[in-house]
Amino acid sequence: MPLHFIFGASGAGKSHYIYRKIIQESMEHPEKQYLILVPEQFTMQTQKELVMMHPRNGILNIDVLSFERLAYRVLEETGESCAQVLEETGKSLVLRKVSQEKKKDLKILGEKMKKQGYISQMKSMVSELKQYEVTKEDMDTMLDYASDKPELYYKLKDVSVLYQGFFDYLEGKFITQEEVLEVLGRVAGQSEKLSESVMVLDGYTGFTPIQLQLLEQVLPLCETMYVTVTMDKRLDAYRQGSPHHLFHLSRETVSKLCKLARAAGSQVEETWVKGKGRFAGNEPMEFLEQNLFRFKKEIYTKEQQAVHIRESRNPAQEMEETALFIRRLMREEGYRCRDFAVITGDMETYADHAARAFLKFDIPCFIDQKKSVFMNPFVEFLRSAVDMLLENYSYESVFRLLRCGLLDLPGQDMDRLENYVLGMGIRGFGKWQEEWVLHYRGEKPEEVVEINKIRKQLMETLTPFTEQMKTRKGTVLERVSAFYGFITTCDIQEKLDRSGKNFASENAMDKAKEYGQIYPMIMDLFDKMAEVLGEEKVSLREFKELLEAGLSEVKIGIIPPNSDQVLVGDMERTRLKDIKVLFFVGVNDGKIPREDTAGKILSDLNREDLKNSSVTLAPTYRENLYTQRFYLYLNLTKPSDKLYLSYSRADDGGEPMTQSFLIGAVQKLFPALVLERPSEDSAWKVENPQSALEYLAQGFKEILDKEPSPLWKELFSWYQKQEVWQQTVQNMVEGAFRVNPEDEIGRSVAKALYGTTLENSATRLELFAQCACAHFLAYGLELKERARYEFSPMDMGNVLHSGLERFAKKMHESGIPWTALDEEQIEEMGEACVEEVVSYYGNTILKSSARNEYMVSRVKRMMKRTIWALTSQMEQGAFTPSRFEVSFAMADSLESINITLSEEEKMKLLGRIDRVDTCVEEDKILVKVIDYKSGNTSFDLLALYHGLQLQLVLYMNAALELEQRNNPDKKVEPAGIFYYNIKDPVVEKVEEEDPEALNRRILKELRMNGLASSDRGVLEKLDVNLRENGVASLSVPVTINKDGSLSRNSSAVSPEQFHLISNYVNQKMREIGRRILAGEAETLPYEMGKRNACQYCPYKGACGFDEKVAGYRYRRLNPLKPEEIWNKMKDGEKSGDPVDKEV
């Protein structure tokens, strides 16, 4: 029973030597049993290699096994009963359950166990403790040791509670995978398979304590135990070196096995394999193996083509270059896909880039990575269904479920349902069961009938599932059964099969296999949940946590569809065999060596603290750094022909990255090695039709600026002749030469949309002046933003307007002047008016949340402040309110709102004037127009000139005409047009300030803005305080200088100027109306200073406006000064055409 080491450097041929020896012996001794143990992921490949090496192409008395497979084979042979093995998913489920039950006992980990990833971390902790044979007594030892470190103590206490609780739950029902080897060790002596067998341990860099414990039992039983060990031929394999030595891990393994041999009384033998092995004829690779990470190293001064280092801009470019090199090596040097491998220390970043790059360059590849299932629609279906119940049918959870696409609801019906639910604020299972009768603003009442049909169809599926799951405490089995019934009702299996077939028909085989595997995997998870936790009673939230824990362990593994593929994998996990060319990508600092970013229950600092506690745990990150270096050595010496190392200057987000120490280490060995960088010219990608498209597209971007290269012209000509690529190239041509189309819908289409009598409001005309395309989309196509059940700033403005309207109506009906109200009456009436509006507003939306309730209180406060300010302003002048909420519909015969555009075409203006005040004198009536605004609107003469602010002047024209009609014997003149901004200003408090002074400062903030008449007599009627010089009005935007003149900041104009803007606005509206009916709909938004039409436009994602595309531009408006505007209006008046055509 000797222990026989097979020593040799990486690539020397250790495995080949021992396999040949075993094959030869097995043929000479067919009665003997030969067992070759390799890591689990290596078993199939080793079997294949042995069969191909065997002269008879068969290995009847040679078994290739892993430790786990050996255990099951021996247990089956001996008939030893073994409790059911709990797999990784089952571990997660049990740990989740135990953490729920022991929550009160967990001081640090209690709440954390609910977070994503913590169950997985605890599962790793449990496996580590079991692998290192940590007992309850060991846990107590660590706790005693950490008693003076509170944070570590309570964390260990929590780990101890969970560790003990975990195994208490399993007792008599299950065992873990780690315990299987313990069972094997107990029955190994009864096995004829092990007795006098020849055992080979190959491909292991070390053994866990449990594996060593098993080998201690098995070694005396074997005739011979061979162990392959990677070792430098210049070293003493039996001498213990320091931990930072490259072969420390190998020496440590030898030391531990020798200790077992001594205990068993076994002889230790050795064989050194010293041939060149895979590096025969490849001097640079042989040199690399002999000198990498050695203290005494030589330098390779000759030029060579085996080792390369490349620098790339980012990981995406790095993978594209890798794919390009592989394709060229295949073409120029005759390599096959299976001769290549790509490894990295960062699969999360490089896996997706690899898939895209190899697809682009048409290279078959297999990415050795198990995928999480969380992005699969079926998994999302399960998670969203539970969330829907937990959130009681919230909008987000219901439509998250529907958008999975696994319920029989057409997309159009789903959209209609979603619009209704958003518009009406539908929430709660009860609401979904009720008949819906109300409709939201903008929706036709008859549409509610159709939406109810969709709701009923959906609830026929959801109601039974909801009723079964809503029990407060159901067993896991009951809840799993309810889910299974729901899945069956929705016919999920057939839908997934259908999707998988569709992916297969499109040659998306990875997706096809994922959809083929996911249903049985989820059913297996449900079976495990029922089997492990079936009779446990859990709340719905606890069930969700169990489900999430189980799903986190479900991974989709894809078997390579054929052997001739490029292998892409992880530097530690992926096993490489018979590789000729290796590409090592992502050789950046933080990736190589890999940073310790994975979360752990016990940090490295905790482990350092426990070093002297006599309990052995897994090594720290710092200790693992030396192990990582050994793995680097093994990987870099895997290829027989060529090695390519590459790194990126920046990550995918553009953040700079530095190269790994490995780059410098290799450069020192090969000083003549030249760093390779990619060409900035994308012509390097011209390798196949798919990859050459990028070069073609780049040429199209530059074609307007410079002559294309001969290569580009030749490529373009080739693509045009290929039928399969013609449409793709045509799309590129259209994109390259895309221009802003002449957006004119034509007079006939405009007539069909708008009719011959154009019903317009000032707001609509202003929108056209901003952008004709936005006007067409809003009023021609009637596109609207989706209605939402919320209280928006616009809604607040509507409530304030309605409240003021009610207040004015009450005052008019009572006959009491505004100025007669005291502060108490203002507060009482203001609050009452708001309450009346709220009671009729939007299906109780204002009572639907604490936020909205607060908004109501804010509206009341603003209402009281507004009534107080408006009343104060009235007290200062001679004007009295004459009309409120004057609708144009009540005075539709006014000339100012009925505009003739042509003989056949007319425009009727719609609108509502908030308030008209008058001051009646013997021979004339002065008119003041006030428009309430809930924002910060300011009168802007320049905006008026360009058609962007027509409303106030239109209201003035209509009010003047209405007063003139009602008072034909008097002259009617404008006194002013003003915006009153409804707000509740915050003013800084001044110490010892009297209330009156404070009120004046508030009134100053609330002063109206607009245009007042410059006539001193009119101004004094607007505000009596303006009778004195050196006074600033608190009501209107006018200040009188000490010399009696108007200040420069005063906004006042003469009666002639009022006439000018009145006439100008009439003609401007006429011009816009004609353009609308002419069919103008051009995408030509205005720009004036820092403002433009696109800033708040809801259609900016639909119009296609892009300044980078030829023909698209802003219509930059001339920033005229006020005197220039007045002069232009005067000149236009004289010429008979007041509207500037250049505007």
Q: Average pLDDT, stretch 1115-1133?
A: 89
Q: What is the pLDDT of residues 693-739, one digit of tens each?
A: 777 777 776 666 677 788 888 888 888 888 888 788 887 777 666 65
Q: Are strands 365-367 and 566-570 parallel, antiparallel or unpaired?
A: parallel
Question: What is the sign, positive or negative, of the torsion defined by CA atoms of 412, 413, 415, 416?
Answer: positive
| Helix, strand, coil distribution of the chain in percent, nearest 5 | 50, 15, 35
14-23, 586-595, 686-695, 807-816: lowest mean pLDDT where?
686-695
What does the alpha-carbon distance between residue 897 and residue 760 come to, in Å, rounded to a whole number?
Answer: 9
What does the alpha-carbon distance between residue 326 and residue 564 come to, in Å, rounded to a whole number?
Answer: 13
Residue 1143 in this model has a pLDDT that exceeds 60: no
Helix (H) or strand (E) holding 55: none
pLDDT at 983: 87
pLDDT at 985: 84
Q: What are phi and psi of 8, to 5 degrees?
A: 170, 155
What does the alpha-carbon distance between residue 644 and residue 329 come to, in Å, rounded to a whole number?
Answer: 12
Residue 674 in this model has a pLDDT that exceeds 60: yes
**Looking up tokens 């809930």, which residue turns up?**
934
CB 811: neighbour CB atoms within 10 A? 19
Residue 512 in this model has a pLDDT that exceeds 80: yes
pLDDT at 737: 66
Q: What is the pLDDT of residues 891-917, one digit of tens each?
A: 677 888 888 888 888 999 988 898 899
Q: What is the pLDDT of residues 277-307, one digit of tens each?
A: 889 889 999 999 999 999 888 999 999 999 9
**Burial environment of residue 253 by CB neighbours within 10 A (0 to 12, 13 to 18, 19 or more):** buried
Going by the DSSP 8-state scheme, the letter that residue 474 receives in this structure is E
**Looking up tokens 């002596």, which residue turns up?**
189
Q: Are strands 84-86 and 174-176 parallel, antiparallel or unpaired?
A: parallel
Q: What is the pLDDT of residues 569-620, one digit of tens each?
A: 998 888 888 899 999 999 999 898 877 655 688 888 888 888 888 888 888 8
Q: What is the pLDDT of residues 726-785, one digit of tens each?
A: 788 887 777 666 655 566 778 888 888 888 888 888 999 999 999 999 999 988 888 887
Q: What is the pLDDT of residues 337-364, one digit of tens each?
A: 999 999 999 999 999 999 999 988 889 9
Res. 321 pLDDT band, cuts 50 70 90? very high
Q: What is the pLDDT of residues 969-981, one digit of tens each?
A: 999 999 999 999 9
Residue 403 in this model has a pLDDT that exceeds 90: yes
Q: What is the pLDDT of residues 834-850, one digit of tens each?
A: 888 877 665 456 666 67
Q: Average pLDDT, stretch 464-487?
A: 92
What does the alpha-carbon distance between residue 122 and residue 899 come to, in Å, rounded to a whole number?
Answer: 78
pLDDT at 1115: 87
Q: What is the pLDDT of residues 52-72, one digit of tens each?
A: 999 988 888 999 999 999 999
State which amino acid sits at residue 993: E
Axis-axis angle for helices 540-553, 88-101 (nearest 10): 150
CB contact at 8 A, 637 and 11: yes
pLDDT at 520: 94
pLDDT at 598: 59
In 3D, which of 765, 755, 747 has the Cα closest to residue 1073?
Answer: 765
Q: Average pLDDT, stretch 787-816?
A: 79
Beta partners for residue 143, in sequence order: none
pLDDT at 575: 82
Q: What is the largest CA-CA distance in the chain?
A: 135
217-226, 322-331, 382-391, 752-761: lowest mean pLDDT where?
752-761
Residue 814 in this model has a pLDDT that exceeds 80: yes
CB contact at 8 A, 525 and 556: no
CB contact at 8 A, 558 and 355: no
| Mean pLDDT for all residues in the chain | 88
DSSP string, 149-175: -HHHHHHHHHHHHHHHHHHHHHTTTEE
**Looking up tokens 């889910």, which residue turns up?**
483
Residue ranges of E strands in 1005-1060: 1009-1013, 1031-1032, 1039-1040, 1052-1053
**Looking up tokens 């990255």, which residue turns up?**
657
Beta partners for residue 62, in sequence order: 34
Q: Average pLDDT, stretch 19-39?
A: 94
What does the alpha-carbon distance between residue 1040 and residue 1048 come to, in Å, rounded to a whole number?
Answer: 10
